[in-house]
């Protein structure tokens, strides 16, 4: 209700005379009411807004100050957009996390103040039109099971210049939070590893929230994807070249000690933390592929069973029945970790890509890039390749990115990956043949 302005006059003389006979003559006081403004005291603010082209990664949010929202309508290229008003009625948030590229959006919102007086604000904006798009692929792939040492690798199909922003868009989700970090190998590849090995028997989800993120000038991510893989039972194989034995630890418990032989003088096995890169039931090993002349006394070509690769240059865990007499006593191999056929078969059946192999007792240090070597760097060294530093993984209750039409399933085969970039060995060691063997599994983690 709107009241008109009125004037009221009050006589005070009689009251004054009752107080004192010497009081002055009667006086009066005039009061004037003021008609309230017809303007609403509420204001409406919509973001994003304005004439400048808008980044599609932004979410539309409408806020009422000095009142509550009564109606919000957002029209996009596909019609009205859904949203939700907060419990106190002051904030409307679009349900959709990202906007379309090169699209016009119109926002119309009405708010009312405490007197019920409304105000309506209408705004319009347009999103940017990229000159190109980029996306990323994740390894391990969807549904893959890996060991506790396996890093997450994201490969982009376009050189990334805005690494800080892109890195921030990559989210790792685990059942319970843990500390890890992304580290860049190049402008098109970044890897994530926890500060310590993954816990065993957990699911890990990787969200690439790239839609609307600018990877380079005018180059934007055009989709969000989500990939879930499993970290299987924890298994760490501790190879002691001095003691000539390998201790197998599963879920924190030692389950077997295996007599082994490692590289002899001039062919020492590399010390360091490695991962099983691939598994092959049989493999032809030809020293010529490592640079050994066929006329050299150290030359060999033979078929081995239960081969588990740990470096690209040719180190394997495998059955070596010809050296059983030395296993547990002496190092006689060309760099591989040899064991009896029974022990190799047992280990092969339990092992998976990404299981950890810790080698100690040699002066030949593991070189970066020769296998999956993310654990060959200290935590501080790993962080040097990160743009945002350590992060904590997000719990499973976090909201996943919006579904995308692009499938991110793993390639055919039991393990994920691209073709590895082999590192030439510094000394000839057991090396793969040029032709593939039966049961080959391949991965492509370069670091």
Q: For this structure, is 334 an active site residue?
A: no
Contact criterion met (CB below 8 Å) for 346 and 256: yes
Looking up tokens 């493999």 gives: 283
Dihedral angle, C-alpha 344, 350, 354, 358, nearest 10 °: -50
Give the span between the Cα atoms of 37 and 43, in whole angstroms. 15
Burial class, 360, CB count within 10 angstroms (exposed 0-12 / middle 13-18 / buried 19+): middle
Look at residues 413, 408, 407 and name the one whose alpha carbon lies nearest to residue 353: 413
Distance of CA 281 to the CA centre of its chain: 33
On the CB side of 132, how many CA atoms lie within 13 Å of its CA?
10
Q: ω into residue 48 within 30 of 0, thus cis? A: yes
On the CB side of 262, how many CA atoms lie within 13 Å of its CA?
21
Q: For this structure, is 22 an active site residue?
A: no
CA 28 to each of CA 13, 24, 34, 160: distance values in angstroms, whole numbers, following the listed order: 8, 12, 20, 81
**Residue 341: helix, strand or coil by DSSP?**
helix
Burial readout 200-219 (b: 16 or more C-beta within 10 A, e: otherwise): eeeebbbbbbbbbbbbbeeb
Task: Write out the two tokens for 409.
Answer: 């399933």
202-209 vs 224-231, strand pairing mode: antiparallel
Q: Which of 22, 158, 244, 318 is catalytic?
A: 318
DSSP calls for 265-325: TTSPPPBEEEE--EEEEEEEEEGGGGT--TTSTT--EEEEEEEEE--TTS-EEEE-GGGTT
Active site residues: 318, 336
């Amino acid at each position: 209700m709107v009241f008109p302005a009125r004037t009221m006059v009050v006589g005070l003389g009689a009251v004054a005379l009752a107080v004192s006979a010497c009081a002055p003559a009667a006086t009066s006081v005039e009061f004037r009411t003021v008609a309230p403004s017809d303007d609403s005291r509420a204001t409406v603010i919509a973001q994003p807004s304005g004439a400048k082209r808008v980044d599609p990664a932004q979410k539309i949010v409408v806020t009422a100050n000095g009142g509550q929202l009564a109606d919000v309508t957002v029209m996009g290229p596909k019609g009205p957009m859904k949203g939700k008003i907060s419990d106190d009625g002051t904030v409307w948030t679009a349900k959709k996390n990202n906007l379309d590229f090169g699209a016009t959006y119109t926002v119309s919102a009405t708010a009312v103040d405490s007197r019920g007086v409304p105000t309506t604000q209408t705004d319009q904006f347009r999103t940017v039109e990229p000159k190109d798009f980029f996306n990323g692929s994740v390894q391990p792939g969807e549904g893959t099971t890996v060991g506790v040492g396996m890093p997450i690798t994201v490969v982009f199909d376009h050189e990334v210049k805005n690494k800080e922003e892109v890195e921030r868009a990559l989210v790792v989700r685990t059942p319970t939070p843990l500390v890890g970090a992304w580290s860049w190998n190049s402008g098109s590849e970044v890897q994530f590893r926890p500060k310590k090995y993954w816990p065993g028997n957990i699911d890990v989800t990787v969200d690439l929230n790239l839609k609307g993120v600018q990877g380079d000038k005018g180059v934007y991510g055009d989709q969000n994807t989500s990939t879930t893989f499993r970290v299987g039972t924890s298994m760490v194989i501790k190879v002691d070249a001095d003691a000539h034995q390998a201790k197998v630890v599963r879920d924190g418990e030692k389950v077997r000690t295996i007599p082994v032989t490692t590289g002899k003088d001039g062919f020492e096995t590399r010390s360091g933390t490695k991962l099983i890169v691939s598994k092959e039931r049989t493999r032809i090993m030809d020293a010529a592929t490592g640079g050994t002349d066929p006329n050299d006394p150290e030359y060999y070509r033979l078929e081995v069973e239960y081969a588990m690769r740990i470096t690209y240059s040719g180190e394997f865990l495998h059955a070596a029945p010809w050296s059983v007499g030395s296993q547990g006593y002496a190092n006689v191999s060309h760099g591989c970790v040899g064991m009896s056929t029974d022990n190799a078969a047992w280990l092969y059946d339990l092992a998976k890509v990404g299981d950890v192999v810790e080698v100690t007792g040699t002066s030949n240090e593991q070189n970066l890039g020769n296998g999956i070597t993310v654990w060959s760097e200290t935590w501080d060294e790993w962080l040097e390749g990160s743009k945002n530093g350590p992060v904590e993984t997000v719990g499973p209750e976090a909201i996943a990115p919006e579904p995308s039409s692009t499938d991110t399933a793993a390639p055919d085969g039991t393990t994920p990956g691209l073709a590895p970039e082999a590192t030439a060995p510094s000394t000839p060691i057991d090396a793969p043949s040029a032709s593939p063997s039966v049961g080959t599994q391949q991965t492509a983690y370069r670091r």
